[in-house]
Amino acid sequence: MKNIIEKINNLKNNLNKWGHAYYVLDSPIVDDAEYDKTLKELIELENQYPELITDDSPSQKVGGIVMDKFEKYKHKLPMLSLANAFNKEDLLNFNDQIKKEIENSDYNFFVEPKIDGLSISLIYNNGKFFKGVTRGDGIYGEDVTSNVKTIKSIPLSIEDQNDYVEIRGEVFLSKTEFEKINKQRQTNDEEIFANPRNAAAGTLRQLDSSIAASRKLDAFLYYFMDREKFHTHSESLSYLEKMNFKINDLGKICKSIEEVYEHILYIQSQRENLEYEIDGVVIKINDFDLYEKVGYTAKSPKWAIAFKFPAEVKTTKLKNIFPTVGRTGRITYNALLQPVQIAGTTVQAATLHNADFIIQRDIRIGGEVKIKKAGDIIPEVIAPIIDENYYKLNKWIEDTNCPICNSLLERVEGEVDQYCINSQCPRKIVRGLEHFVSRDAMNIEGLSIKIIEKLFENKFIENVGDIYKLNKYKNELIQLDKMGEKSVTNLLESIEKSKSNSLEKLFFGLGIRHVGKKTAKVLAVNFKEIDVISNINFNELEEINDIGPIVAKSVCDWFEIKQNADLIKTLKNEGLNTKYLGNEGSKNNDKITMKSFVITGTLSKPRNYFKEMLEEYGAKVIDTVSKKTDFLLAGQEAGSKLEKAQKLGIQILSESEFLEMIGE
């Protein structure tokens, strides 16, 4: 046995050394065949002696774990977002604000590319990889440990033997891997990913870790959370590199804001040559000791900022204009383009928004147009290129009929959009079903748009109520192309699980016009049951904070339609929960529960910390001060919200008064 242990350890050591050279240093020591042969030998030995398998073995990066769901994980410290700069003036203002806080201190900056991927937190216990967590909402993320383990550039064991080590970074897909995945998805008749960031996010959230392993995610690490260990950010990066983490080689210490700007321009000039996507540059004060002095706003640190690159603009030919129908019947016009490379991806289609947008810009089929990616995500046509031949092209004329059901399109007074108002329009139904099962609504996994279309075409579902009757057709579903017994079983389990969702998810999923996720939560918190909401009148609805006349009318109109009332009955008969199951009952305090709070100014902890605390007591946290506001929680530099609250006679609480109120 001693020889076996020694052999396994030698194999692991070689694989770790070769993997680090290949995936982190980009300097292979052996060829792929040698690496694969050694890995296979290790796996065979571990299969023979399963008691010798360790969590940090290279065999654990192969994947194969299938999860039912991802658990929520509360970050030890919030993962804050960064404020944005878009030009040199913004950078100078950023520097001026720092000077105000640390008047007589010398400081340097550290400048590094802003990777266009998915933020991740890695946690190690006693040198062993313990957990990988997504950013989520900054307070809670998702535990995606099994998928993070498959990322070859992330070590499963490190030299730092402390009982808690947290490192943050960005998971991404290389441009090459992104193109490869999309080609494969096209071959399989699957919807292609819009960009590498979406692909990375989708991959990291795969319940089957073998899929994540096959897609070859990568990661740059950029933040060591234990600031007590080092004086500067650059020192901490050197430490991470020593522990075999992948650190971006374009990072640089800059002694002045002018030098910062020069390095930003250099990184921007290298953007097209990089094998990964970046959408800007991150600038931090290098000295950790200054972070607390400079401080934080409610949403972001004041000692760091993200410089966002301007959207890349390209010129190409507009081959055609075609309309599509959304779940509300809204018509969106789209451009079919001569393929063009922009921001690292091949673009063949772009949005043209609505008919007025096209007419006002006089965009014509057959002409050259400028396109950009809005936020480096959605391609959009900005303007035509006018030359001597342009006006020989035919003027574009808006469609008058729905491209799917041929119903006459209508315009709502005062709005620019056209709508198909046929409630039986197949595309509206399919898009409505897609919205109902989406993550922010009923979160039914396994019902992709392709599967929904297939079920709709085969008359298994015609409305959302039919989703909950699919269990009667299990055998028939298994026979459908590309479904299979396992995927059908998982789908039916996910449908069953969704029945216990809280009311706000159902209410959002119903797709009532003007009712977004936040509004659905407001209605659920205030009225608790869908039957109460369905019988509420316009005036009572409009009185609720954050509910205006447009939303109130839309909700009342929706419930007046018999078809919708029948749908609610069907859902209740199928066992769906129609009550609010929120967290306001988790703690009770008569002074706070069901009261509305506005938070403003600089507090001892990020604003989300206090927001979450208030919501545990069933309080409503709103953004603007009005006569409906019960309390203003005010920190330092509270500004205009404090002035308005004083004028309206709203009770103002300091942080200490608030904590005393809740007994903490």
Residue 68, token pair as written in the block: 């039912």
Q: Does any domain span residue 279?
A: yes
Please identify which of the residues 2, 69, 72, 114 carries the catalytic annotation: 114
CATH number at residue 490: 1.10.150.20
Q: Is 443 left (phi over 0), alpha (psi -120 to 50) or beta?
A: left
Q: Residue 376, annotated ligand binder? A: no
Residue 342 is part of a domain; what is its CATH number?
2.40.50.140
Mean per-residue pLDDT over the chain, rounded: 85
CA dist 265 and 175 (Å) reads 22
Q: Examine the fold and report which residue of 273, 304, 335 is the final residue of a domain before the chain moves on.
A: 304
Alpha carbons 496 and 619: distance in angstroms, whole number: 31
Residue 356 tokens read as: 């007025």
CA distance 214 to 216: 6
Residue 259 maps to a domain: yes
State mean pLDDT over 40-58.
70
Q: Is 425 annotated as a binding residue?
A: yes
Residue with tokens 């929706």: 558
Question: Is the predicted pLDDT of residue 30 greater than 80, yes or no?
Answer: no
Question: Which DSSP letter does residue 20 get?
Answer: I
Q: Of the candidates 304, 338, 366, which is a domain's last residue?
A: 304
- The verdict on whether residue 34 carries a ligand-binding annotation is yes
**CATH no. for residue 172?**
3.30.470.30
Residues of 180-201 as b/e, b for ≥16 C-beta within 10 angstroms?
ebbeeeeeeeeeebebbbebbb
Contact 200, 119 (CB under 8 A): no
Gap between the Cα atoms of 620 and 518, Å rounded: 11
The answer to the question of whether 33 is labelled as a binding residue is: yes
pLDDT above 70: residue 628? yes
Burial of 300-325, coded b for 16+ CB within 10 Å and e otherwise, reads bbbbbbbbbbebeebebebeebebeb
> Is 588 within the bounds of a domain?
no
Q: How many domains does the chain have?
A: 6
Average pLDDT over residues 443-447: 89
Picking from 151, 154, 90, 97, the residue whose alpha carbon sits closest to that of residue 123 is 154
Task: Kindly state whether residue 421 falls inside one of the protein's structural domains.
Answer: no
- Over residues 174-195, the pLDDT tens digits come to 988 988 888 887 777 666 776 7
Is 108 contained in some domain?
A: yes
556 is in an annotated binding site: no
pLDDT reading at 584 higher than 50:
no
**How many residues does the structure list for the chain?**
664
Same domain, 136 and 157: yes
**Residue 588's pLDDT band (cuts 50, 70, 90):** low
Residue 657: give its domain's CATH number: 3.40.50.10190
Q: Please give the Cα distance from 116 to 178 (Å, whole number).
A: 13
Residues 403 and 377 in one domain: yes
Are residue 643 and residue 516 in the same domain, yes or no?
A: no
Residue 256 and residue 92: Cα distance in Å, rounded?
A: 10
pLDDT at residue 258 tops 90:
yes
> Is residue 68 situated within a structural domain?
no
**If residue 420 lies in a helix (H) or strand (E), which one and from where to where?**
strand 418-420
pLDDT of residue 439: 84
Question: CB within 8 A of 474, min separation 6: which ones?
Answer: 488, 489, 492
CATH for 12? 1.10.287.610
Q: Mean pLDDT across the stretch 439-451?
A: 88
Same domain (yes/no): 235, 266: yes
Same domain, 407 and 437: no
Are 158 and 258 found together in one domain? yes
Bridge-based pairing of strands 165-172 and 218-224 is antiparallel
Helices (H), 22-86: 32-48
Clarify whether residues 480 and 464 are in a common domain.
yes
Whether residue 40 lies in the annotated active site: no
Q: Are 47 and 191 within one domain?
A: no
Question: Are residue 121 and residue 234 in the same domain, yes or no?
Answer: yes
Q: What percent of the chain shows pLDDT beyond 70?
A: 91
Q: Which of 62-71, 190-199, 502-511 has the highest mean pLDDT?
A: 502-511
Contacts 24+ apart (CB under 8 A), 335-339: 335/369, 335/371, 335/381, 337/369, 337/371
Q: Do residues 555 and 510 lie in contact, with contact meaning Cβ atoms separated by under 8 Å? A: no
* Highest-pLDDT range among 173-182, 464-473, 512-521: 464-473
Q: What is the Cα–Cα distance from 126 to 120, expressed in whole angstroms? A: 20
420 is in an annotated binding site: yes
What is residue 315's predicted lDDT score, i.e. its pLDDT? 92
Per-residue exposure over 516-544, b if at least 16 CB sit within 10 Å of its own CB, e if not: eeebbbbbbbbbbebeebbebeeeebeeb
Supply the pLDDT for residue 397: 94
Q: DSSP secondary-structure letter at 272?
A: G
pLDDT at 45 over 90: no
Q: Which residue has the higher pLDDT, 221 or 295?
A: 221
pLDDT of residue 60: 63
Angle at 561 between CA 557 and CA 566, to 5 degrees: 135
**Is 227 among the domain residues?**
yes
Q: How far apart are CA 67 and CA 646, in angstroms?
A: 52
Instruction: Say yes or no: 217 and 234 in one domain.
Output: yes
Q: Helix 88-101 and helix 257-270: axis angle, to 10°? A: 140
Based on the domain organization, do 150 and 234 belong to the same domain?
A: yes
Q: Was 356 annotated as part of a binding site?
A: no
Beta bridge pairs of residue 172: 218
Q: Which of 498, 522, 540 is the last residue of a domain?
A: 498
Task: Specify if 72 maps to a domain.
Answer: no
pLDDT at 66 over 60: no
Q: Are 206 and 341 contained in the same domain?
A: no
Residue 438 domain boundaries: 426-498
